[in-house]
Amino acid sequence: MKKVITYGTFDLLHWGHINLLSRSKELGDHLTVALSTDEFNSIKNKKAFHSYENRKLILESIRFVDNVIPESNWDQKIEDVLNYNIDVFVMGDDWKGKFNYLEDYCQVIYLPRTASISTTKIKKELGLLAISNV
């Protein structure tokens, strides 16, 4: 069984995330998502709208996601790849080159980001909508 892993916050899930997850699953037979915990998000200077538990519940309901584990620090990837017998590590290409050190342990693939959608964009536009409706 070819095992794939990817990492992220996946807040306010949108089609950019779905594209990444479905393309990741197409690279193997089993997809693990290492989901950033709320505590790790603060290290990443991110504040997710939804809690880790709720983001996990949403991801686990996606048919091509097979397993969700916590991502609690920057340095767990090698251990994860070894512990979960991962064959392929996948990230969006905004991270291109950042995780090439994993090539000693598995295949590393950066997939093109989906244009014109991001959690930040959603938050900004909702925030603007809220102001204009005042």
Residues contributing to the site for ligand C2G (CB under 6 A)? 7-10, 16-17, 20, 36, 44, 46, 71, 91-92, 94, 113-114, 117-118
Among candidates 71, 67, 75, 77, which has minimal Cα distance to 30?
Answer: 67
- Closer to ligand C2G at the Cβ: 75 or 104? 75
Task: Give min distance, CB of 71 to ligand C2G, in A.
Answer: 5
Residue at token pair 């969700």:
68
Residue of minimal Cβ distance to ligand C2G: 92
Q: Which residues carry out catalysis?
A: 44, 46
- Closer to ligand C2G at the Cβ: 20 or 87? 20
Task: Give min distance, CB of 132 to ligand C2G, in A.
Answer: 24
